[in-house]
Amino acid sequence: MNIIEFKDRKVILWTMPDGEKQPFYLSTGRNSRRSGTWFPFDGYIEPHGRGWFNKYRFCNDIVPEELHRFGKRKYQKVSKQIEAFFELDLEFHSERHTGNGIDINEFLIEEGWTKRSN
């Protein structure tokens, strides 16, 4: 499993049961208040010169409250699978580190991700 670390967040590309390749990041809990939770996202974006993980699809107004930040139950279930996977290796580490968010997208594309539009 390849991981890239961006500042204080780990990012992976997870292959879903249906074959979809979905990026997930390990939350620090600063905004979500759910430190240690793996959340899905759709790449790194820099609107108006400020960069962040694109979470719109998972956090918009049509997402039910219990699935906020997951978007769909399948991503919530996979988040728990990823957590369990990494519990087996508590010392997992990133071989790649970056301070540039655009490097995240490059890493994901190298891993086989197809960027989606919202």
Instruction: Quick: pLDDT tens for 27-80.
Output: 987 777 778 899 999 999 988 888 888 989 998 888 888 888 999 999 999 999
Parse the chain into domains and list their residue ranges: 3-110
Q: Specify the pTM.
A: 0.87
Per-residue pLDDT at 86:
83
Please give the residue that has the higher pLDDT: either 64 or 112: 112
Per-residue pLDDT at 52:
86
Residue with tokens 């301070």: 99
Band the pLDDT of 101: cuts 50, 70, 90: confident
DSSP 3-state of 79: helix
CB 102 within 8 A of CB 44: yes
